[in-house]
Every structure is written in C-alpha cells, then in structure tokens.
Amino acid sequence: MSVEKEINEYLFYEFGYDIKEYDENEGKISENWPFQLELLETLDIDGDTIQVFGFVYDNERHYALYGKDLDYYSVDDVELKYLKYQLEGSRWIAKRNPITLEYVVLGDPAIPSTKERAASIKKLADGIDKGECKILEGLFLKRTGEYLSLIKFGDEDISYIVGTNITLRGIPFPNASPARRLAIGIGLLIDKGDLSK
C-alpha cells in the first residue's frame, strides 16, 4: 500500500467517513481520495523520519504526519517550520511524564495536589511582575519535579512560557491550542540551545 493511500485510509476513519458513507465509499479509498495529499517536507525528529503532507478538509488546511505513527493537525496558521518545533517540544515534554492541572491523582506523594500545582505556576508567573495571570496550559513534570506552563496576563495578546527554569515570552499562533503553543515554544528553546533534549 502506498504512503498516500495509507494516510487516506487513516483520515477516512478519523474524519468519520465510516459513519456517514462507509458502505458506499470504503472501496474508493486511494492515493487521491478522500483527500488530495501534497508532500510538503520530510523531517528528522530525534532520528525518526516523518513525512509531512498537506490536505484540505471542510475548507481548512491540515497537516498529515506519516512516521512511526500517523497523525494530523489543523494548520491553525502554524507555518511548516514551526511544526518541527512543535514535534520536538512535544517529545521533550512527553519524556518528562507531564501531569496536567486538571488531572487528579490520589495517594501519590510524588505528585502535588491540583491546588498546589496551580499555586506553584502562579508563583512562577509572579517573576514576570505583570499582575494576575491566566494559566492557559499548566503541567507538572513528574520525572523532574518541575513545572511548565503557558500563561497570559489580562487582555495581552502575548503569551509566556514559565517553568521552574524557563521564562520565554512572545509565543505566537493564538489560533492554535495552548498545548500546541507550549510545545512550539519548548521546541524553539531546544533549537536555540537554551534547553537540552
């Protein structure tokens, strides 16, 4: 099976074609249906090769990723060069066993309570000295015992990454999810040499 056909098969099920039109269309899956895929770039992320394809669904542009796993993302104004930062940042975060602020863990003394996690992130935000912050994405990195968050102050368009050993301002892409923006910022720090992989 070609790469394009495999991606189209994955997207066929992801976008719910199986529910709407399964009997009529499953046999139609091909390199060019249900989506016209355009190979945009091949990335090397920590020794893994990932092919990035572009496609359009419901008048919105998306990326389809083909590597060890199949995945897709809405473009959300995230230029292709920043997708690499997102993937590197996501791996960096995942290696540290992230726990979100919403995740409740009982009986594990290595993980602070949700209240303690939120308070620790707000304390890190105090170092920027811009008043009350809004936590857009907050993580406790269990493996290292550190905190990492994407925050903003008031009505500012600028978002900040704050962490136990990190402060970075000006995270772009307000249309992307906070988790995605946080991953892009971490990838940028890795690329600049401010964080080790």
Contact status, residue 127 vs residue 167, Cβ threshold 8 Å: yes
| Average pLDDT score over the chain | 90
With a threshold of 0.95, does the pTM exceed it? no
- d(Cα 121, Cα 80) in Å, to the nearest integer? 30
What was the pLDDT predicted at 25? Answer: 60
pLDDT band at 175 (very low <50, low <70, confident <90, very high): confident
DSSP E strand boundaries for 23-142: 38-45, 48-57, 60-66, 70-74, 98-100, 133-141
| pLDDT tens column, 80-99 | 999 999 999 999 999 999 99
Percentage, residues of the chain above pLDDT 90: 64
| pLDDT tens column, 31-53 | 998 999 999 999 999 899 999 99
Question: Helices (H), strands (E): how many in the chain?
Answer: 5, 9
What was the pLDDT predicted at 157? Answer: 75
Percentage, residues of the chain above pLDDT 70: 94
Q: Which residue has the tokens 């991606």?
A: 7
Taking CA atoms, 153 is separated from 131, 133, 170, 195, in Å, by: 7, 5, 12, 25
Contact status, residue 84 vs residue 63, Cβ threshold 8 Å: no
ω into 34 cis (within 30 of 0):
yes
* Cβ contacts of 69 within 8 Å, gap of 6 or more: none
